[in-house]
Amino acid sequence: MTKSYRFLPLFAAAMAAAQGGFSYTSSAGDVTLNARSGLVEIPAAGSSVYKFKLRTGVTARSRKDGIVISASEVTGELTSRGKDTVIRHAVATGGVRLVKTANGSTNTITGARADYTDQGSSALVVMSGGVRITSNSSVKRQMWVITGPSGQAVLGPAARKGAGLRTATISGGARVDLTQPRGGNVTATGRQLTLDQAARTVTLSGGVTVKGSGASSFGTLQNAQRAVLRLNEKGEVVASEVSS
Amino acid sequence: MISLLQGGVQLRLDSAKGPLIARNAQHHTAQIEGDVYRFRGTGSPVIIERPWQGAVLSANQVDAEIRALADQTFVVQQGSFVGSASVVTDSDAADAALKAAGKPLPSRTISERTEVSSDRFNYSGTEQEGTLVAPGALTTTDASHGTREVTRKINGQQLTGPEAFEQKWTLVGSSGTVAIDPGQSVAVKQRLRKGDLNGPVTLHLTRSAKGPGDVAARLTAMDASADHVAFDFTGATRTITATGHVVLTSDNGVFKGTVNADKAVVTVDENLNVKTIDTTGEPTTTTIHRLGGGK
């Protein structure tokens, strides 16, 4: 396999349009890469994997997956999935912002570092450094925000189907703020938090506190070691299971 | 904080008047359905309390519906309490909670603690009254102490002044229903409201009072047993009615001796101080009237 990093001649036209920066658009237009500077490794014979290393003001966009990654630096790989080009793997560092849109909802992950891996039927994002995950649903008129020092998220594969964010787990001190569709907020904290969109649950463990405010009727929960908050289809907290 | 964390989980539902707190559960689930909180918990015991009213419901297993009233005050609307179940309303505890919360204390000169306990009971309630139905043995106690103004006639002389007293009622039945005022509103003179106890029922009263004209405290002690006892303290005349194989025993204060009767009706004042005892029976009928405690 040839290991020579250089600008791909194939992308010379796209690069020229970037006014001194780096720009790449896949042939079908489903992946675009933009940065101040970048290198792409030509795939070895028989391989369809493009390795790239982008620096300064990086934006990597995968239209099929509904993924946009912005960061100071992104190193990763592009590959083919059928007729599509997708981001197979990307490690983003420095002011990372990963946006996943799907089915009327927008999930935004920010942090100091994100390691994104396409797993075929899903994508795994491992995050660290002031992690913040937000979800806005225009359909449910609901929003939640998860914060913590590190964690990981599993994303759905497609831009137009599924929940976008399937699960999110935050470790080392987590907090979730749920804005209720009919007003009010529920805020929960614990050492670890797992959000499961399919099960519509938020599971917290370790020094769990939950506080409802405004129009929320949840009340305040303290001194719990584990709490499972169950949400309805509107994103309202409708039940809890708590252990000390 | 009004309540302390004493192990176990604490779920707190706040309102402008004060919170409802469910605590000490090792495990609980809660479902929110509109204004109703369906709470199920296990603990040793699970405690549901309104500290600002000195009201506590507890049991090892609780399945309760907690409702938010129009003013967002939360009350236990109904529930099943199993395993060392009890309901307590305590004016001293209410005052301590209000003081801790920096809220004004009600003006009262009498403290009262009422407790009904059983292995299990079903409870239904409003903010003003809670009724529990116990299928098994239940014990009701009402302990009060404080000072009240009394007027007494001693040797033809009318004396008015403060009387300090301490009193405790204990009623034990094999099963029954008891209604109490779960709150500590000053307007209500005592927390026990109504009761219907199936026998064998035993009743025990002790009272110590020292008022105007007394050199030493006057002591009252009375025991009673019956097949059935009902009490109603909600009306102008507060009565305790014992029926079936009624036996009344007193060594001092109320009377001296033992009375056997088919029925006894005891009237009490607003502080549950005995005013009169009427007993009837066949073949003998006995009626005893005695002025109790002061007026």
- B45 and B32 share one domain: yes
Q: Is A239 on the interface with B (CB under 8 A)?
A: yes
Model pLDDT for residues B42-68, shown as the tens digit of each residue = 999 999 999 988 999 999 999 999 998
Q: What is the Cα–Cα distance from B50 to B18, expressed in whole angstroms?
A: 7
Find the residue in A nearest to B46 (Cα): A244
Work out the mean pLDDT of chain A and round it to a whole number: 85
Bigger pLDDT: B196 vs A159: B196
B283 CB neighbour count, 10 Å cutoff: 4
Residue B122 lies in a domain: no
Kind plus residue range of the DSSP H or E element containing A4: none
pLDDT bracket for residue B258 (50, 70, 90):
confident
- Tens of pLDDT, residue by residue over A188-242, are 999 999 999 889 999 999 999 999 887 777 889 988 999 999 998 888 888 999 9
Q: Which residue of B has its CA nearest to A219?
A: B13
Residue of chain B nearest A226, judged by CA positions: B27
What is the pLDDT confidence band of residue B293, given thresholds at 50, 70 and 90?
Answer: very low
A219 touches chain B (CB under 8 A): yes
B36 vs A: CB within 8 A: no
Contact between A130 and A149 under an 8 Å Cβ cutoff? The reply is: yes
> Are B15 and B131 contained in the same domain?
no
In this predicted structure, the answer to whether residue A144 has a pLDDT above a threshold of 80 is yes
The answer to whether residues B99 and B113 belong to one domain is: no
Contact yes or no for B256/B250 (Cβ under 8 A): yes
- pLDDT above 50 (res A17): no
* Domain membership flag for residue B82: yes
Confidence band for A9, pLDDT divided at 50, 70 and 90: very low
Q: How many CB atoms lie within 10 A of CB A220?
A: 17
Q: Kindly state whether residues B169 and B271 are assigned to the same domain.
A: yes
CB A199 within 8 A of CB A177: no
**Which residues span the domain enclosing B73?**
1-106
Q: Do A223 and B37 touch (CB under 8 A)?
A: no
The residue-averaged pLDDT of B14-38 equals 89
- Chain B partners of A217 at a C-beta cutoff of 8 Å? 13, 32, 35, 37, 68
SS3 percent helix, strand, coil of chain A, rounded to 5, is 5, 70, 30
Last residue of a domain, one of B106, B135, B166: B106
Question: Poorest-confidence range of A149-163, A165-179, B141-155?
Answer: A149-163
Read off the pLDDT of each residue in B23-32 and give the average, rounded to a whole number: 92
* Whether residue B149 is found in the same domain as residue B21: no
Q: How far is A98 from chain B (nearest CA, A)?
A: 35
CATH number at residue A92: 2.60.450.10
Range with the lowest mean pLDDT among A101-105, A230-234, B107-111? A101-105
Nearest-by-CA chain A residue for B14: A219
Per the structure, the count of domains in chain A is 1
A204 touches chain B (CB under 8 A): no
Check if B10 contacts A (Cβ < 8 Å): yes
Residue-wise burial string across A59-77, b where 16 or more C-beta atoms lie within 10 A, e elsewhere:
bbbbbbbbbbbbbbbbbbb
Residue B69 near chain A (CB below 8 Å): no
Q: Would an 8 Å CB–CB cutoff place A215 in contact with chain B?
A: no
Is the pLDDT score of B255 beyond 80? no
Question: How far apart (Å, rounded) are the C-alpha atoms in residues B207 and A89?
Answer: 83
To test the contact with chain B by mutation, choose from A186, A223, A230 the residue with the greatest count of B C-beta atoms within 10 A, namely A223
Q: What is the mean pLDDT of residues A125-148?
A: 85
Per-residue pLDDT band for A141 (boundaries 50, 70, 90) equals: low
Please determine, for residue B1, whether its predicted confidence score (pLDDT) is greater than 60: no
Do B137 and B89 have their domain in common?
no
Q: How many residues does chain B have?
A: 295
The pLDDT of residue A12 is 36
- Average pLDDT of span B18-26: 92
The complex's ipTM?
0.77
Q: How high is the mean pLDDT of chain B?
A: 87
Rounded mean pLDDT of A134-163?
Answer: 80
Same domain, B199 and B63: no
CA nearest A232 in B: which residue? B32
Indicate the residue among B77, B106, B135 that finishes a domain: B106
Of B5, B33, B68, the CB nearest to A223: B5
- Is residue A221 within 8 angstroms of chain B, CB to CB? yes
Best probe of the A interface among B32, B37, B46, by most A CBs < 10 A, is B32
Mean pLDDT over B243-248 rounds to 94
Taking residues A66-90, what's their average pLDDT? 92
Contact A242 B27 (CB under 8 A): yes
- Considering A83-87, A150-154, B149-153, the range whose residues carry the highest mean pLDDT is A150-154
Residues of A in contact with B28 (CB under 8 A): 241-242
Q: Which range of residues forms the domain containing residue A135?
A: 5-243
For residue B93, give the H/E element and its range. helix B91-100
Tell whether A232 is within 8 A of chain B (Cβ).
Answer: no
Q: Residue B184: what pLDDT?
A: 64
Token pair listed for A126? 């491992």
DSSP-derived 3-state class of residue B253: coil
Residue A217, chain B, CB below 8 Å: the answer is: yes
Chain A nearest-CA distance from B100, in A, is 19
Alpha carbon of B81: minimum distance to chain A alpha carbons (Å):
19
SS3 A13: helix
Tokens of B160: 């008015």
Where residue B292 falls among pLDDT bands split at 50, 70, 90? very low
Within 8 A by CB and 6+ apart from B115, the residues are B86, B87, B88, B139, B140, B141
Which comes out higher in pLDDT, residue A14 or A108?
A: A108
Residue A35 has pLDDT above 70, yes or no: yes
Q: How confident is the model at residue A7 (pLDDT cuts 50, 70, 90)?
A: very low
CA distances from B7 to A75, A221, B41, B96 (A): 49, 13, 14, 21
Confidence grade of residue B147 (pLDDT, cut at 50, 70, 90): very high
- Chain B touched by A220 (CB under 8 Å): yes
The CA distance from A140 to B83, in Å, is: 43
Task: Please state the domain count of chain B.
Answer: 2
The Cα of B31 is separated from the nearest Cα of chain A by a number of Å equal to: 4
Contacts with B11 from chain A: Cβ below 8 Å:
219-222, 242
Tell whether B100 and B167 lie within a shared domain: no
In this structure, is residue B182 part of a structural domain?
Answer: yes
CA atoms within 13 A on the CB side of B290: 16
Assign B295 a pLDDT band (cuts: 50, 70, 90). very low
B152 and B294 assigned to the same domain: yes
> Quick one: B93 and B174 in the same domain?
no
Query: Residue A163: pLDDT band by 50, 70, 90 thresholds?
Result: low
- What is the pLDDT at residue B257? 84
What are the tens digits of pLDDT across the range B269-287? Answer: 887 888 888 888 775 555 5
